Chain A
């Protein structure tokens, strides 16, 4: 015991002797670290401040008009009375349509890119193109959707055209997220499956996809949530200022929350009332998008618990 303490003391002494000015060095780096930490904390606070103030601002101005009737009634008297139910329903249909289109397509693309031709030049070019697609401005997607779906394919201004346009916009994000989730499946799972005599496709279907599913769904939800609030892509492809009732087929044009806000703020004859309703709509849209994100977070959390990571 004694000898050991002595030994430790000796080492400590040697260390101090060998590194003169060590104390000072530690102090400077402490100060730098503290400054760095404060700076980073401030950055987070600023970001949180903006997020918080957006939520507060929209809620405080929008909450006044929210009522059961506002959520369930059709608009009346040139949009100054009644509710915005058709816009909520329209946004819901457009979002579901976008998922129905983008999920299978994005998932299939990701499977092909990861499992069937990894590392080739063609795949790298495709990957680069997909990433570039993610950078295309939304209004350009809107114009593209108008040209292709509304005009050339003749779907008209409709839920179908709008869903397809939104879907294409969500596609790059969905493909990237699915790729990440698929690549995160340990190679050892694939080996175990193949070594048991499974074919490549069985391995994908029964081991890779179930393991990657929570990650894929998280990616899909986040990306669809992002496009659900977009105005520009549906501006020329799906949205209309006012409908008397609810859409009756995928070829109907619809009201949608983002476009409705835009319309309330730029058209009509009662700006004060309309502005209030616009805040109400913003609040609903914000709540919808946050709810969608919350779903993604819960899914991701459940996945973490399952794999104990």
Chain B
């Protein structure tokens, strides 16, 4: 009962100018599973997941080689609509980044830029998404307050809810708990486990315990290379590569 492949990367090389940040990465990411990327800082985890929604397009002088397919569509093909891609692949960032607008405006943003004007429809989507992100009860009485008034953990859940509004298929989490306290972290982790019923989730994390807790598959990267990729329980109990074992046991990193 192997899950279906959602995203398939073949021989990906990525360059910042002349620096090669990713070397020949090939990996299949499975539908409605949580895939964690672990590895020391600067190993290319974030760079890789930013290729999936083409956020790296923003970096001048960067270049990607190889192919990433999602549902049979070549993500990097010049004719691929990057706006549509980003609606299908949502992203939650390392630092919570709500807009300096009200909670409601933050939530409605994705729909409004998509040209949706039906207020009742927007409101329904906003409420549903807030509920899905387990934030609704905490904010329902102050939807018109600034999002910046929320705590760090609430802001991050707002960012998750904000990306649910546009109904993506894949959600990328780039170290979502890096700036949060343990309780907020636990809430986000519970949320990720809940969301994987409906979404394909990719998470970058520095926290190995977190990878073990939330993910079904784990990819270990080192210096731009994919060292090992397998089911999480295998990576953490019987890793095939010595480097993986050493990293997991804290010998470097």
A119: chain B residues within 8 A (beta carbon): 60
Q: Which interface class (under 10, 10 to 19, 20 to 34, 35 or more) fits A?
A: 20 to 34
Tell me if B93 counts as interface (CB < 8 A to partner A).
yes
- Majority SS at the chain A contact face: helix
Which one of B27-35, B71-79, B84-92, B218-226 is at the A interface? B84-92
A196: chain B residues within 8 A (beta carbon): 86-87, 90, 109-110, 113, 162-163, 166
What's the Cα separation between A76 and B58 when bound, in Å? 65
| Contact status A194-B58, CB under 8 Å | yes
| Contact status A194-B55, CB under 8 Å | yes
Tell me if B193 counts as interface (CB < 8 A to partner A).
no
Tell me if A244 counts as interface (CB < 8 A to partner B).
no
Tell me if B100 counts as interface (CB < 8 A to partner A).
yes
* Chain A 164-208 interface mask (CB, 8 Å, partner B; 1/0): 000000000000000000000010111111111111001000110
Tell me if A307 counts as interface (CB < 8 A to partner B).
yes
What's the Cα separation between A193 and B105 when bound, in Å? 12
Which chain B residues numbered 82 to 110 have a C-beta less than 8 Å away from chain A? 83-84, 86-87, 90-91, 93, 95, 97-101, 109-110
Shortest distance between the CB of A216 and any CB in chain B (Å)? 15
B58: chain A residues within 8 A (beta carbon): 190-191, 194
What's the Cα separation between A199 and B110 when bound, in Å? 11
Shortest distance between the CB of A117 and any CB in chain B (Å)? 10
Q: Which interface class (under 10, 10 to 19, 20 to 34, 35 or more) fits B?
A: 20 to 34
A206: chain B residues within 8 A (beta carbon): 109, 112-113
B211: chain A residues within 8 A (beta carbon): none
Shortest distance between the CB of B36 and any CB in chain A (Å)? 20
What's the Cα separation between A193 and B98 when bound, in Å? 10
User: With A188-B97, A192-B159, A197-B83 given, is the CB distance from A202 to B90 under 8 Å?
Assistant: no
| Contact status B148-A197, CB under 8 Å | no
Q: When the two chains form the complex, which single residue of B60, B91, B95 contacts A195, counting CB atoms closer than 8 Å? A: B91
User: With A188-B95, A206-B113 given, is the CB distance from A195 to B90 under 8 Å?
Assistant: yes
What's the Cα separation between A188 and B83 when bound, in Å? 18
* Chain B 127-166 interface mask (CB, 8 Å, partner A; 1/0): 0000000000000000000101000000000010011001
Residues of B in contact with A (beta carbons under 8 Å apart): 53, 55, 58, 60, 83-84, 86-87, 90-91, 93, 95, 97-101, 109-110, 112-114, 146, 148, 159, 162-163, 166
**Could you give 29 example pairs across A and B, Cβ below 8 Å?**
A119-B60, A188-B97, A189-B99, A189-B100, A190-B58, A191-B55, A191-B93, A191-B97, A192-B159, A193-B99, A193-B113, A194-B86, A195-B163, A196-B109, A196-B113, A196-B162, A196-B166, A197-B87, A197-B113, A197-B166, A198-B109, A199-B83, A202-B113, A206-B109, A206-B112, A210-B101, A211-B100, A306-B100, A307-B100
Residues of A in contact with B (beta carbons under 8 Å apart): 119, 186, 188-199, 202, 206-207, 210-211, 306-308
